[in-house]
């Protein structure tokens, strides 16, 4: 089964901050595995955050786009009306933001049983998807 990678995993993989070296290594290890999965939302969030002018180690457009293309070797969940509806159901049932709910819905749609994320409750299970913080 594939494991789903949240945006923070992709962002830590490009970090040059010395205090994030261990997170960078862990993120790269997850990305080196073949069983990853992502969503269009994750790719969009990555691009916005990786290239934002206020980021101290911001990426140029062409490098960010190249990385995004590389990560499309993984299954990529598109944003559909069905996915939005599923995210809204998750949001209503759990105390998650819409955006986190959409990540969980995408992971579930791709058949992932693990969602690697620093942003949600480690160990929480939502619809058969276990949230795991790989940076703990």
Q: Looking at residue 120, what is its pLDDT?
A: 94
* pTM for the whole structure: 0.95
Calculate mean pLDDT across residues 16-25. Answer: 96
Region at 110 (left for phi over 0; alpha for psi -120 to 50; beta for the rest): alpha
**pLDDT tier at 3 (50, 70, 90 boundaries)?**
very high
Q: Are 68 and 34 in contact (CB under 8 A)?
A: no
How many other CB atoms sit within 10 Å of the CB of residue 78?
Answer: 10
3 state SS for the chain: CCEEECHHHHHHHCCCCHHHHHHHHHHHHHHHCCCEEEEHHHHHHHHHHHHCCCCCCCCCHHHHHHHHHHHCCCCEECCCHHHHHHHHHHHHHCCCCHHHHHHHHHHHHCCCCEEECCCCCCCCEECCEEEECCCC
d(CA 4, CA 107): 6
Mean pLDDT of the chain: 97
Range of the domain at 23: 3-132
The per-residue pLDDT for range 48-102, each reduced to its tens digit, is 999 999 998 999 999 999 999 999 999 999 999 999 999 999 999 998 999 999 9
Q: Looking at residue 23, what is its pLDDT?
A: 98
CATH number, domain at 9?
Answer: 3.40.50.1010
Q: Could you give the number of structural domains in the chain?
A: 1
In this model, does residue 1 exceed pLDDT 90?
no
Q: Are 46 and 64 in contact (CB under 8 A)?
A: yes
Q: Are 40 and 76 in contact (CB under 8 A)?
A: yes
In which residue are the tokens 């040059």 written?
A: 16
């Amino acid at each position: 089964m594939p494991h789903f990678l949240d945006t923070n995993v992709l962002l830590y993989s490009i970090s040059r901050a010395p205090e994030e070296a261990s997170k960078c290594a862990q993120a790269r290890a997850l990305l080196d595995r073949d069983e990853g999965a992502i969503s269009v939302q994750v790719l969009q969030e990555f691009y916005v955050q990786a290239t934002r002018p206020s980021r101290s180690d911001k990426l140029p457009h062409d490098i960010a786009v190249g990385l995004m293309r590389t990560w499309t070797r993984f299954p990529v969940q598109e944003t559909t009306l069905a996915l939005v509806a599923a995210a809204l159901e998750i949001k209503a049932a759990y105390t998650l933001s819409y955006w986190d709910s959409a990540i969980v819905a995408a992971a579930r749609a791709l058949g992932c049983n693990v969602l690697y994320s620093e942003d949600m409750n480690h160990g929480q299970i939502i619809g058969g998807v276990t949230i795991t913080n790989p940076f703990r």
